[in-house]
Amino acid sequence: MLRNGSRGDAVEDVQAFLTEASIYQGRFDGIYGPKTEAAVRSFQRETGLAADGVWGQKSSLKAIELLRKYQGPGTPIMPTIIQGDPL
């Protein structure tokens, strides 16, 4: 799970996804701060998830679902695996 205070490449991946979704408008700095948390909450609200601001399994699965929908069938997707997520 990623939450306020998390750092690293996985956070940067989430920031990039949220930017592509026109939700996040900050730098890809790998720091899960207030702007990233607010963008995650917006994404969660818009997709019918509990808006807790934590990027976990449900948020990751919803992001993959949306990527598949917009990229089309047969397009390979490399999902972000977040430490602690069951495979």
pTM recorded for the entire structure: 0.80
Residues 28, 12 contacting (CB under 8 angstroms): yes
The reply to whether 34 falls in a domain is yes
43 has pLDDT over 80: yes
* CA atoms within 13 A of residue 3's CA, in its CB half-sphere: 8
The string of pLDDT tens digits covering residues 44-87 is 999 999 999 999 999 999 998 888 777 665 655 555 555 555 44
38 found inside a domain: yes
Residue 87 placed within a domain: no
pLDDT score recorded for residue 87: 41
Q: Tell me the CATH number at 29.
A: 1.10.101
pLDDT for residue 70: 74
Coil/strand/helix, residue 54: coil
> Which pLDDT score is estimated for 80?
53
14 domain residue, yes or no: yes
The pLDDT value given to residue 53: 97
Number of domains observed in the structure of the chain: 1
